[in-house]
């Protein structure tokens, strides 16, 4: 087991839901509490489902931005 | 290998033909073939039967017979209702305001209106999918006074009832009500100017919609129109279909409200039981609105599970259910209803019961669901 990191970026371009959410759930344990995971995902369902996942799993949704290439990126902060 | 007959739990998409409708359809097909506008005896017979169907539907829905129009589909009734009210208000304004969880038939009518220089805006809903009178007030403040407001009686995907009476009392403009999901099961709300329903959702035949327009409403045909017995609709009247729809509606209303086995109560208890079973599965969301819901629908979403895989696996086990997940739709867009609710859109299932649903069917589904979800999740590699 590697030491937790402060930030991870997941390239989920081309993946359809629920795959980006599955990748998010796998990656969250690799960041420290207080750290963040950025989910880069072009599936329109990810916009809703990342936030729903945060609500259901008690993590913090920290907003979205768009990459230089125009792909939405959703930021999740680990709080537990 | 022979398969067990499917347990059909997708009644919200379409009901099997009610036995009462089947009988009427067979009898009427032989009798009601003539053009009801003609003057000869077969035509008068067809006209009489069409008027009978109209009278029965009017009585069942608590409206006047001259407020009832049979249309070629529920979708067409929705389009006529929404766009006809807008046409009647063209001089007052062109803004259509609709809840964001309306059936796609309403949203398509809104888009069509917007493409013809009209305006179309939606009102957000809460987590249960319910539009609040306060949200309507806020939308009016933001977008201006609407010409027409569209609010469904009940949502077709999650079953939440909408506060149509309150919204209608609030806005003081004509309200269109899509009652396709609830008609035949629950009484119509009040306060609307036009409404639509669909016969195959209450056990009538496909291809019969019902448009209701209040006598006091200003409605103008938004389409080219026709010269039929009823000027609001188009095409040769489907008299056998209308009669069968009327018979099924009367039977459905009786069954939902007749003691001691009121179907509405039986369905409420069975969908609650299924909801409890799903609640016990970790990482699931059940959409069972408090304070008013359709008795026969329960929907839920399961984290990490592919909606298509879930529907396919349940089908393999003999259960026919629907899903609002993107992977089960014709587009990549997830359900606009779940999206508007901020709900999980993947791993979604809608179970909807009908008059032939046995308690044992629902109990069996409640038994197998936890294992099915667990099995599909095990393949994902998500740490448990």
Domain ranges of chain B: 7-15+261-378, 19-255
CB contact under 8 A, B345 and A56: no
Interface test with B, best of A12, A16, A17, A39 (most B CBs within 10 A): A17
CB contact under 8 A, A52 and B285: yes
Report the pLDDT value the prediction gives residue B325, as an integer from 0 to 100: 81
Strand B95-99 to B119-123 pairing: parallel
Average pLDDT, chain B: 95
Give how far A33 is from chain B: nearest CA, Å.
17
- What topology does CATH give the domain B19-255? 3.40.640
Residue A17: which of B283, B285, B346 has the nearest Cβ?
B346
Q: Which of B75, B85, B339, B43 is nearest to B219 (CA)?
A: B85
Whole domain around residue A19: which residue ranges? 5-77
CATH number of the domain bearing residue A54: 3.30.110.40
Give how far A64 is from chain B: nearest CA, Å.
15
pLDDT per residue over B181-208, tens digit each? 999 999 999 999 999 999 999 999 999 9
CB contact under 8 A, A48 and B283: no
Residue B381: which of A26, A55, A57 has the nearest Cβ?
A26
CB contact under 8 A, A21 and B306: no
Name chain B contacts of A56, Cβ cutoff 8 Å.
283, 285, 303, 344
The count of structural domains within chain A is 1
Which residue did the predictor score with more confidence, B381 or B317?
Answer: B317
Name chain B contacts of A44, Cβ cutoff 8 Å.
326, 332-334
pLDDT (mean) for B211-215:
98
Q: What ipTM is given for this predicted complex?
A: 0.95
Q: Does the CB of B323 have a partner CB in chain A at under 8 Å?
A: no
Report the pLDDT value the prediction gives residue B329, as an integer from 0 to 100: 65
pLDDT per residue over A23-61, tens digit each? 999 999 999 999 999 999 999 999 999 999 999 999 999
Q: Which of A2-6, B246-250, B287-291 has the lowest mean pLDDT?
A: A2-6
CB contact under 8 A, B381 and A57: no
Name chain A contacts of B326, Cβ cutoff 8 Å.
16-17, 43-45
CB contact under 8 A, B334 and A17: yes
Q: Does the CB of B327 have a partner CB in chain A at under 8 Å?
A: yes
CATH code, residues B7-15+261-378: 3.90.1150.10
* Closest-CA residue of chain A to B306: A18
| Percent of all residues in chain A with a pLDDT value above 90, rounded to a whole number | 91
pLDDT (mean) for B17-45:
95
Report the pLDDT value the prediction gives residue B324, as an integer from 0 to 100: 85
Q: Give yes or no on whether B7-15+261-378 and B19-255 have one common fold.
A: no
Q: Does the CB of B87 have a partner CB in chain A at under 8 Å?
A: no
pLDDT per residue over B155-178, tens digit each? 999 999 999 999 999 999 999 999
- The answer to whether A12 is a known catalytic residue is no
pLDDT score of B29 more than 70: yes
Give how far B311 is from chain A: nearest CA, Å.
15
Report the pLDDT value the prediction gives residue B38, as an integer from 0 to 100: 95
Q: Which of B12-26, B73-87, B214-228, B252-266 has the lowest mean pLDDT?
A: B252-266
CB contact under 8 A, A25 and B383: yes
Report the pLDDT value the prediction gives residue B381, as an integer from 0 to 100: 87
pLDDT score of B331 more than 80: no
């Amino acid at each position: 087991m590697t030491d937790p990191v402060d930030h991870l970026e997941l390239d989920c371009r081309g993946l359809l839901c629920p795959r980006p959410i599955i990748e998010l759930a796998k990656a969250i344990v690799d960041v420290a509490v207080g750290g963040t995971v950025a989910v880069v995902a072009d599936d329109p369902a990810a916009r809703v489902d990342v936030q729903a996942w945060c609500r259901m799993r008690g993590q913090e949704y920290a907003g979205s931005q768009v990459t230089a290439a125009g792909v939405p990126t959703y930021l999740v902060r680990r709080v537990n | 290998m022979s398969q067990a007959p499917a347990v059909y739990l997708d009644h919200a998409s379409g009901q099997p033909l009610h036995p009462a409708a089947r009988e009427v359809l067979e009898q009427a097909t032989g009798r009601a073939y003539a053009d009801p506008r003609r003057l000869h005896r077969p035509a008068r017979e067809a006209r009489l039967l069409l008027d009978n169907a109209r009278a029965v539907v009017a009585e069942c829905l608590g409206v006047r017979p001259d407020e009832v129009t049979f249309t070629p589909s529920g979708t067409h009734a929705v389009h006529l209702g929404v766009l006809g009210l807008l046409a009647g208000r063209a001089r007052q304004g062109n803004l259509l305001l609709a809840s964001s969880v309306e059936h796609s038939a309403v949203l398509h009518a809104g888009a069509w209106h917007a493409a013809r220089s009209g305006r179309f805006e939606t009102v957000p809903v809460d987590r249960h999918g319910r539009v609040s009178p306060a949200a309507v007030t806020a939308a009016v403040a933001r977008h201006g006074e609407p010409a027409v407001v569209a609010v469904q009686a009940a949502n077709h995907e999650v079953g939440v009832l909408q506060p149509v009476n309150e919204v209608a009392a609030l806005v003081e403009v004509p309200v269109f009500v899509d009652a396709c999901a609830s008609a035949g099961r629950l009484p119509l709300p009040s306060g609307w100017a036009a409404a639509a329903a669909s016969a195959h959702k209450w056990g009538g035949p496909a291809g019969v919609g019902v448009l209701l327009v209040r006598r006091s409403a200003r409605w103008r045909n938004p389409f080219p129109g026709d010269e039929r017995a009823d000027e609001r609709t188009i095409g040769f009247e489907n008299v056998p279909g209308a009669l069968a729809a009327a018979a099924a509606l009367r039977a459905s209303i009786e069954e939902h409200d007749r003691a001691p086995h009121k179907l509405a109560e039986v369905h409420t208890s069975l969908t609650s039981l299924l909801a409890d079973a799903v609640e016990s599965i970790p990482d699931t969301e059940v959409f069972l609105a408090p304070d008013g819901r359709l008795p026969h629908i329960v929907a839920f979403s399961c984290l990490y599970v592919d909606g298509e895989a879930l529907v396919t696996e349940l089908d393999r086990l003999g259960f026919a259910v629907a899903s609002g997940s993107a992977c089960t739709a014709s587009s990549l867009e997830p359900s606009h209803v779940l999206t508007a609710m901020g709900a999980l859109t993947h791993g979604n299932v809608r179970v909807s019961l009908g008059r032939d649903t046995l308690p044992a069917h629902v109990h069996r589904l409640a038994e197998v669901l936890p294992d099915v979800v667990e099995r599909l999740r095990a393949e994902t590699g998500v740490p448990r």
